[in-house]
Structure 1
């Protein structure tokens, strides 16, 4: 298995986790033997093109091998939660946009799709290269090339910031550049967080709506209070704090304390479910505090 892992690493392949089962082969004898002999190995380029790719087992009928299916991911009808993108802060048009609805509209209509922008810059550079080949290389051409290169560098930096934020690689310093590494790390997090099946009250749920409903039902029952006898604490001794310490607990936080606490947090993280990151709060502190 070690040699196999070394082979995968040396060829820069990705061994996808297997869903719905742990093994793909059994001998069918007594005693029974299980093993995982079958798998899909994908390249980094494939994973970049299909970030939601996964492999799962089908029903075994006659063969001693379990059929595998490679799912490249489909279109989801679910609403994705809002997540503030730290790369937005590099845009000159960002200032003053602090509402989720306004940010979503601005991202779609003004900021735009980075991949489309990058492809457009590639096309402009290719056009300039063709003009270079036929000898049309004047001062204006050099100026346009420098402008295109500057735009491309800014887009590449924004992509780096976005994928670094998605990768949650907190041990890296801001400015470290390795987009492919960030991309693969983010995809790994996405696969690990995906719940393909769940067992509720002895029954396995597979469909997306069933899994979602099973999770909601479990926690509803877990946090539903049932009426009954409760123990009392009368007569039990407890430690207590002094009146001075009690008063200090209720002292309002100073703005300097809040800002210092925020500054010590990782900038790619969000404090709550609203999706706004620490970097947004630090960059827009004067507006937030108002």
Structure 2
């Protein structure tokens, strides 16, 4: 076992965690001995390519080993911006672009601040494999795969989950205009 552990360490392989179970083998006794024998080992490059992968244990039917399955999902692609050349023929277009950008920047100043902080973290902490492994592990652990709405239906689509969370918080906290602006009398 020590040779296997050394091999994993030398290859800098990552042992993907099981999301729903700790052990994959049992001796099937009344007081069982449990162990994690079955694993998915991946390289750091693979881990960076598949951020939203999950390893799940399936029900054990006849074997003393629990079958495990690897599911991979690519993060949702951002929508592309398409520039239409015909816009340049509109007389007002060139004068309105700076105005539109300033409106977006003022509305999204928090996003710009967060983006700058993330850029600092990304570039300031060094370009090490360990940093990326930890970041990917955090994303994998924090990813919410499924939620249940008020009617008990399961939501798995990322856009629908985002919308449901937004509406839930909006229901709880209300609109910004509804919040009192003063403290005390």
Length-normalised TM-score, structure 1 = 0.36
Matched, 1:185 2:134: yes
Give the corresponding residue for 1:22. 22
Query: In structure 1, how many angstroms separate the alpha carbons of the residues matched to 2:138 and 2:62?
Result: 36
For the structure 1 residues 191 and 63, does the alpha-carbon distance in structure 2 shift closer, same or farther, using more than 3 Å as the test?
Answer: same
Check whether the contact 2:58–2:67 (CA below 8 A) recurs between aligned residues.
yes
**Residue 19 of structure 1 contacts residue 196 of structure 1 at CA under 8 Å; is this kept in 2?**
no
Q: Which consecutive residues of structure 2, in runs of 5 or more, have no partner in the other structure? A: 78-97, 148-153, 173-182
What does residue 64 of structure 1 align with? 64
> Counterpart of 1:134?
none
User: Structure 1 residue 100 and structure 2 residue 105: aligned?
Assistant: no
Determine whether 1:34 maps to 2:34: yes
Say whether 1:165 aligns with 2:121. yes
Q: Residue 51 of structure 1: SS of its match in structure 2?
A: coil
Cα distance, 1:187 vs structure 2: 0.6
Could you tell me whether the CA contact under 8 Å between 1:20 and 1:197 is conserved in 2? no
What TM-score does the superposition give when structure 2 sets the normalisation length?
0.52
- The equivalent residue for 1:265 is none
- What is the alpha-carbon root mean square deviation over aligned residues? 4.3
Conserved? CA contact 1:25–1:66, under 8 Å: yes
Deviations 1:83-135 (A, max 9, x none): xxxxxxxxxx9x9523239x79xx9xxxxxxxxxxxxxxxxxxxxxxxxxxxx
1:165-216 Cα offsets, whole Å, 9 max, x none, are 36xxxxxxx7453154433222111122235589xxxxxxx8748xx7xxx8
Which secondary structure does the structure 2 equivalent of 1:48 belong to? helix
CA distance in 1, matches of 2:108, 2:16: 35
Partner SS state of residue 18, structure 1: coil
Q: Distance in 2 between matches of 1:52 and 1:179?
A: 20
